[in-house]
Structure 1
Amino acid sequence: MKFESLEIIPNNPDGWRSGELEFGDAITQLYAKNGSGKTPLIQAMMFCLGLHVQFRDDIVRNCKMARLKLLLRGKRFTLDRMMGDSFDLTVRVDDKTENRFYNEDDFSRFMLKSLNLRSDRLVTNGNTPTTPYFSALLPLFYLDQDQGYSEYYAPPRPGFIKNQFSEMVRLAANFPPQNSYDKKKKAIEVKKDLAYLDTTIVDSRKLMERIAQELPSPLRKIEDVDRLIAELKSRLEDLKKSKDIKSDSLSSLDYVIGNLRRRHRELQSEEAALDSKISSATQIREEIQSEIETLNLNEEAKRAFISFSDICTSPSCGIFMVSADSYGKSLLYLKDQIKDLEISTASNIQRSEAISTEKKFVESQIAQLAQQRGLAEREAGIEVFIEAISRISSEIFELGLEKNKLEKSEQQKNTHLDLLKRRDITLTLEDSLQTSREQSPDILRFRIELGQKMAEWLDVLNSKNISRDIRIDSDLKPILGTEKLGIIKGSSKARTVLAFHAALFELCTNDPLSPFRVLVFDTPRQQEIHWEDLDAYIKALKAVALRNNAQVIFSTTSYQYVIDDKTDKEWLPKFAGSEQPMYLGGVDQSPIDAAP
C-alpha cells in the first residue's frame, strides 16, 4: 500500500480546499510554521483509512470531505470520507465505486480482505468476540502530535481488544493471534490439517523417490535435453532437404554414434565415481567396526578392573558411571554411522547397477550402428537415408521421454516444497494455539530481529543512556536492559519510541508481501531531538524506503530535510492567510505560487 495523493474538498463555494497534493515515492515533507494547517492534512490521511479524528469546528464547517488515493496490489483505491462525526466512507477501485461504508466494522473487514490480512475473531477486554478494526493497526505506522511520542502504541481511543498492542503487531507482521476467540475450534481444524499434510508429504516423498529412480543417470538439465532435441530436429530437416542423400545420411549416423559415445563416457565417469564411493564406504565401515571392537575391549577391561574389591568396595559405588554412559553413547553413535553407511552404499550399488545396464545398452547400440554404417557404405543411398531418419527420429523420441521425466521430477519437487512450506505455516499456527506460553520459531526470530533493529535505530538517533541490550517480551513489548518505557523521560523516551517504529517499519517492509509500506510522523518533537540526529534518522528511513519500495511522510516546523526531486515531494502552504501562508484556502483563492 502506497499513497498517491491527498485532497481536501470544499463543502460550498465559500469553503476551503487544498488542491490535489501528490506524495513522493520515498519522502513527503510538510514544512511550514505552526498554525499553517499541517496537522489537519496529516490527520486527513488517517481519517480516510478509518481512524477516528476529531477535527476542529472550522475544518468541519468549511470542508466537505477528504480524498486519499493509494495503490494497493496493482489497483488504485480512492477513499472519500465525509467530514463530521458520523462514519461515511466511499471506496472506488480503479474509478469504479466498490462500496459505501457507514460503520467502521464493515470498512475494516473490507480493508483487511483487500490487504490480504487475516480477520480472526479476537477477545475483547470483556471476553466477548470481536474482529479487529483496521484503524487499530494505524498507530503502529502513524505517530500523532500529542500521544504518539510517549508510547510505543497510542491509539486515539482506549483499546478494547485484550492485549491490543501485541495483537496488532502480530497482525501487521502476519503472525497468528495471541488470543483467538475461536482458538479451540481452530486448534482441532489445524490438527487435522497437520495430520493430512504429514501423510501427504510422506506420499509425496515416496513419489519423488520413485520418479527419481526412473531418471537416467547421470542427470542432464532440461535445457541440455532441449538443445539436443533442437540439434537432432535440425539435422532431420537437413536430411529431408539433402541432395546428396548417402553422404548426408552417413554424416547423420556418425552424429548419432558420436552422441551415444559421449553418453557412454558420461556413464563411465558416473560409474567410476559411484564405485569410488562404495569402496570408500566399505573402508570407513571397516574402520568404524574396528573402533567398536576397541570400545568393547575397553569395556571388558573396565569390568575386570571393577572386579577387584580393593578398587570398588561397594557394588553401587558409581566410580565408573561416567565411563559406562560414554561407552553406551559412543557405541550407539558408531552403530548409527554404520547404518547410514549401509543405506547410502545400498543406494549407490543400485544406481551403479542401473548405470551398468544402461552402459551395456548404449554399447550395443553403438556396435549395431557402427555395423549398419559399414554395410550402408556399400549399399544404395536410399537404405542409408531411411536408417538415418529412423535413428534420428528414435533419438528425438527417447530425448522427449527423458525431458518429460525431468519435467515431472521438477514439478513433483516444487509440489513437495509447497507442501513443506504449508506444513511450516500450519506448525506455526498450531504452536500459537497451544495453551502454553511457548511461541513458534518464527515469532521468536521476529522478537530477536526487532530488538536488534531497535538497537541499531537508537544508534542512528544518537540516544544516550538507553541500554542496547533490548529484549522483546512475549507480548512484543521492548525491555531496555531492565527498564520499561514508562521509566524513561524527556527526549530519551521520544527517541526510544521513534527507534521502535522505525525498526517495526523496516522489518515489515523487508517482507515484499507486507502491505504496510507507509510511515507517518506528525511533527516529531524537534525541541527534544537535535537537528543532526533527526536528519540522520530521516536519511536512514529514506534508505529503507528506497530499498523496500516504501514511503515516509512527516510534518516539520524547524528541521527541513533537503529533498531529492526524483524521489521526494515537499508540501509548502500555498494559500495566503491573515498572518502566514496556509495549506487550506478558499475556492476562489489562487495559490501563492500561481498568483500573477
Structure 2
Amino acid sequence: MKFESLEIIQSNQSGWRSGELEFGSAITQLYAKNGSGKTPLIQAMMFCLGLHVQFRDDIVRNCKMARLKVLINKKRFTLERMIGDTFDLTVKTEDPTESRFYNEEDFSKFMLKSLNLRSDRLVTNGNTPTIPYFSALLPLFYLDQDQGYSEYYSPPRPGFIKDQFSEMTRLAAGFPPQHSYDKKKKAIDVKKELEYLDATIVDSRKLMERLSQELPSPVRKIEDVDRLIAESKSRLDDLKKTKDIKSESISSLDHLMGNLRRRHHELSSEEASLESKISSSTQIRDEIFSEIETLNLNEEARRAFTSFSDICSSPSCGMFMASADSYGKSLLYLKDQIKDLEIATSSNIQKAESIVTEKQFIERQIADLAQQRGLAEREAGIEIFIEAISKIASEVFELGLEKSKLEKYEQQKTSHFELMEKRENTLTLEDSLQTSREQSPDILKFRIDLGQKMAEWLDILNSKNISRDIRIDSDLKPILGTEKLGIIKGSSKARTVLAFHAALFELCTNNPNSPFRVLVFDTPRQQEIHWEDLDAYIQALKSVALRNNAQVIFSTTSYQYEINAETDKEWLPQFAGVEQPMYLGKIGQPPIDAT
C-alpha cells in the first residue's frame, strides 16, 4: 500500500479546505511553524485508514471530510471519511461500485482482505473472539505527536486484544497469531492440509522425475532449442525457394550433419563426465569400506579391553559406552553414504548407457547423410532434394517435441517448488499452533534480525548510553542489554522508539509481498534529537524507501530535509493566516504567494 494524495474537503462555502496534496514516491515533508496545521493533515491520513482521531472543534466545524487516495496491489482506492463522532467511511475503486462502512469491524475486514492479510480470530482481554482491527496495526507505522515517541506501540485507545502489541507485530511481519481463538480447529485443518501437500509433493516429484527421464541428455536450454528450430526453418524456406537443387541439397545435408556432429560432441562430453563420476564414486566407495573395516577393528579391540577384569571390573562399567555409541552412529552414517553412492552410481550408469545408444543412433544418421551427400554430388536428381527437405522437416518436428518436453518439465518444476514453499509455510503455521510455537525457525530469525536492525538504527541516530546487545523477547519487545524501555528517559527513549520503528519498517519492506510500505511521523521531538542525527536518520530511511519501493512521511518545525524533486515532495502551508501561513484555508482565500 502506498499513498498517492490527501485532501481535506470544506463543510460549507466558508469552511476550510487543503486542496489535493500529492505524496512523494519516497519522502513527503510537511515543513512549517507550530500551529500551522501540520498535525490535522497527518491525523487525516490515519483517520481515512480507520484510526480513531479526536479532531479539535474548529476542524470538526469547518471541515466535512478527509479523502485519501492509495494504491493497493496496483489498484487505486479512494477512502473518504466524514469528520465527526460517527464512523462513516466510503471506499471507491476504479470499478463503478463503492463500499460504505458504518463500523470499524466491517471496514477492517475489507482492508485485511484487500491487503491479503490473514483475518484469524484473536482473543480479547475478556477471552472473547475478535478480528484483528486494522486500526490496531497502524501505530506500528505511525507515531503521533504525543504518545508515539514514548512507547514502542501506542494505540490511541487502550488495547483490547490479548497481547495486542505482539499480535499486531506478528500480523505485520506475516506470522501466525500468538493466541488464535480457533486454534484447535485450525490445527486439525492444517494437519489435513499437510497430509494433502505431502501426498501431492510425492506425486509431483514422481511426475518431475518421469518428465526428466524423457529429456535428452545432456539437457539443452529452451533458448538453444528455439535457435536450432529457427535455423532449420530458415534452411527449409531457403530450400523451397532455391533454383539450384543440387548445391542447396548438399548444403542442407551438410547443415544436418553439422548439427548431428555438435550433438555427438555434447553427448561425448556428458559421457566423459558421467564416467568420471562413476569412477570417483567407486573410489569413494572403496575408501568408505576401508573406514568400515577400521571401525570394526576398533570395535573388536574395545570388546577385548572390556573382557579384562583389571580394566573394567564391573559388568555395568560405562568406561567404553561413548565409544560404543560412536561406533554405532559412525557405522550407520557410512552405510547410508554407501547406499546414496550406489543409487547415484546406478543412475549415472543408466544415463551413460542411454548416451551410448543415442551416440550410436546419431553415428548411423551421419553415415546415412554422408552417403546421401555423395549421391547428391554425383547426381542432380530431385529425389535427393526431396530427401533433404524431408530430413530438415523431420528435424524441426523432433526439436519441437524436445521443446515441448522441456516446457512441460519447467512448468512442473515451478509447480513443484510452489508446492514445497506452500508446505514450508504450512509447517510454520503448524509449529505456531503447537505449545512450542516460539521455536518456529522463521519467528526466531525475525527476532534476531529485528534486534540486529534496531542496533544499526541506534548507531545511525548516534544514540549513547543504550546497549547494542538487543534481545527481542517472546512478545517481540526489545530488551536493551538488561533494560526495558520504561526505565529509559529523555532523548534516549525517543531515539530507541525511532530505531525500533525504522527496524520493523525495513524488515517489512524488505519482503516484496508485505503491504506495509508507509512510515509516518508527526513531528519527531527535535528538541531532544540533534539536527545532524535526525538528518542521518531521514537519509537512511530515504535509502530504504528507494530500495524497497516505500514511503516516509513526516512533519517538522525546525529540521528541514533537502528534498529531491524527482522522488520527494514538500508540503508548505499555502493559505495566509492571521499570524502565519496555514495548511487549511477558505474557498477564494488567496494563496500565500499571492498576498
TM range (shorter): over 0.9
Moved more, 451-460 or 557-566: 557-566
Partner Cα separation in structure 2 for residue 132 and residue 291 of structure 1: 59
**Could you say which residue in structure 2 is the equivalent of 1:523?**
523
**Could you say which residue in structure 2 is the equivalent of 1:27?**
27
Partner Cα separation in structure 1 for residue 21 and residue 368 of structure 2: 80
Alignment of 1:520-559 (within 5 A): 520-559=520-559
* Counterpart code for 2:403: K
**Could you say which residue in structure 1 is the equivalent of 2:348?**
348
- For the structure 1 residues 430 and 373, does the alpha-carbon distance in structure 2 shift closer, same or farther, using more than 3 Å as the test? same
Q: Secondary structure at the match of 1:6?
A: strand
Alignment of 1:88-99 (within 5 A): 88-94=88-94, 96-99=96-99
**Could you say which residue in structure 2 is the equivalent of 1:184?**
184
Moved over 4 A (4+): none
* Counterpart code for 2:4: E
**Could you say which residue in structure 2 is the equivalent of 1:212?**
212
- For the structure 1 residues 194 and 138, does the alpha-carbon distance in structure 2 shift closer, same or farther, using more than 3 Å as the test? same
Partner Cα separation in structure 1 for residue 365 and residue 163 of structure 2: 74
Gaps spanning 5+ residues in structure 1: where? none
Give the C-alpha shift of residue 270 in structure 1.
Answer: 1.5
Q: Secondary structure at the match of 1:315?
A: coil
Partner Cα separation in structure 2 for residue 94 and residue 370 of structure 1: 67
Give the C-alpha shift of residue 36 in structure 1.
Answer: 1.6
**Could you say which residue in structure 2 is the equivalent of 1:279?**
279
Partner Cα separation in structure 2 for residue 149 and residue 50 of structure 1: 21
**Could you say which residue in structure 1 is the equivalent of 2:475?**
475
* Counterpart code for 2:405: K
1:17–1:587: 8 Å Cα contact kept in structure 2? yes
With normalisation by structure 1, the TM-score equals 0.97
Q: Secondary structure at the match of 2:67?
A: strand
Give the C-alpha shift of residue 454 in structure 1.
Answer: 0.6
**Could you say which residue in structure 2 is the equivalent of 1:292?**
292
Give the C-alpha shift of residue 249 in structure 1.
Answer: 0.7
Gaps spanning 5+ residues in structure 2: where? none
Partner Cα separation in structure 2 for residue 437 and residue 370 of structure 1: 70
Give the C-alpha shift of residue 144 in structure 1.
Answer: 0.7
1:77–1:93: 8 Å Cα contact kept in structure 2? yes
**Could you say which residue in structure 2 is the equivalent of 1:567?**
567
Q: Secondary structure at the match of 1:580?
A: coil
2:431–2:437: 8 Å Cα contact kept in structure 1? no
Matched, 1:86 2:75: no
Partner Cα separation in structure 1 for residue 14 and residue 532 of structure 2: 43
Deviations 1:343-387 (A, max 9, x none): 111111111111111111112222222223333433442111111
Partner Cα separation in structure 2 for residue 585 and residue 345 of structure 1: 81
Give % identity.
84
**Could you say which residue in structure 2 is the equivalent of 1:234?**
234
Give the C-alpha shift of residue 257 in structure 1.
Answer: 1.7
* Counterpart code for 1:448: I
Alignment of 1:308-347 (within 5 A): 308-347=308-347
**Could you say which residue in structure 1 is the equivalent of 2:387?**
387
1:148–1:154: 8 Å Cα contact kept in structure 2? yes
Deviations 1:390-425 (A, max 9, x none): 111111111111111111111111111111011011
**Could you say which residue in structure 1 is the equivalent of 2:499?**
499
Give the C-alpha shift of residue 96 in structure 1.
Answer: 4.1
Q: Secondary structure at the match of 1:79?
A: strand
2:16–2:584: 8 Å Cα contact kept in structure 1? yes
Matched, 1:246 2:246: yes
Give the C-alpha shift of residue 237 in structure 1.
Answer: 1.1
Give the C-alpha shift of residue 536 in structure 1.
Answer: 1.1
Q: Secondary structure at the match of 1:486?
A: helix
Partner Cα separation in structure 2 for residue 322 and residue 475 of structure 1: 41
Q: Secondary structure at the match of 1:85?
A: coil
- For the structure 1 residues 232 and 147, does the alpha-carbon distance in structure 2 shift closer, same or farther, using more than 3 Å as the test? same
Give the C-alpha shift of residue 97 in structure 1.
Answer: 4.8
2:249–2:376: 8 Å Cα contact kept in structure 1? no
**Could you say which residue in structure 2 is the equivalent of 1:171?**
171
- For the structure 1 residues 126 and 74, does the alpha-carbon distance in structure 2 shift closer, same or farther, using more than 3 Å as the test? same
2:518–2:550: 8 Å Cα contact kept in structure 1? yes
Partner Cα separation in structure 2 for residue 118 and residue 379 of structure 1: 76
Give the C-alpha shift of residue 75 in structure 1.
Answer: 2.2
Partner Cα separation in structure 1 for residue 571 and residue 408 of structure 2: 57
- For the structure 1 residues 498 and 192, does the alpha-carbon distance in structure 2 shift closer, same or farther, using more than 3 Å as the test? same
**Could you say which residue in structure 2 is the equivalent of 1:594?**
594
Partner Cα separation in structure 2 for residue 302 and residue 185 of structure 1: 54
2:278–2:345: 8 Å Cα contact kept in structure 1? yes
Moved more, 275-284 or 136-145: 275-284
Partner Cα separation in structure 2 for residue 199 and residue 32 of structure 1: 62
With normalisation by structure 2, the TM-score equals 0.97
Partner Cα separation in structure 2 for residue 382 and residue 355 of structure 1: 35
Moved more, 370-379 or 289-298: 370-379
Partner Cα separation in structure 1 for residue 95 and residue 253 of structure 2: 65
Matched, 1:406 2:412: no
Q: Secondary structure at the match of 1:547?
A: helix
Alignment of 1:370-519 (within 5 A): 370-519=370-519
Give the C-alpha shift of residue 79 in structure 1.
Answer: 1.5
- For the structure 1 residues 302 and 442, does the alpha-carbon distance in structure 2 shift closer, same or farther, using more than 3 Å as the test? closer
Partner Cα separation in structure 1 for residue 383 and residue 218 of structure 2: 34
Give the C-alpha shift of residue 161 in structure 1.
Answer: 0.9
Give the C-alpha shift of residue 592 in structure 1.
Answer: 0.9
Partner Cα separation in structure 1 for residue 568 and residue 438 of structure 2: 44
Q: Secondary structure at the match of 1:77?
A: strand
Partner Cα separation in structure 1 for residue 51 and residue 179 of structure 2: 23
Q: Secondary structure at the match of 2:198?
A: helix
Matched, 1:584 2:595: no
**Could you say which residue in structure 1 is the equivalent of 2:264?**
264
* Counterpart code for 2:49: L
**Could you say which residue in structure 2 is the equivalent of 1:55?**
55
* Counterpart code for 1:64: K
Give the C-alpha shift of residue 460 in structure 1.
Answer: 0.8
Q: Secondary structure at the match of 2:438?
A: coil
Q: Secondary structure at the match of 1:384?
A: helix
Moved more, 8-17 or 309-318: 309-318
Partner Cα separation in structure 1 for residue 279 and residue 159 of structure 2: 69
Give the C-alpha shift of residue 216 in structure 1.
Answer: 0.8
Deviations 1:282-322 (A, max 9, x none): 12212221222222223223333333333333333333223
* Counterpart code for 2:90: T
Give the C-alpha shift of residue 95 in structure 1.
Answer: 7.7
Give the C-alpha shift of residue 338 in structure 1.
Answer: 1.4
**Could you say which residue in structure 2 is the equivalent of 1:154?**
154
Partner Cα separation in structure 2 for residue 63 and residue 559 of structure 1: 29
Moved more, 297-306 or 469-478: 297-306
* Counterpart code for 1:377: E
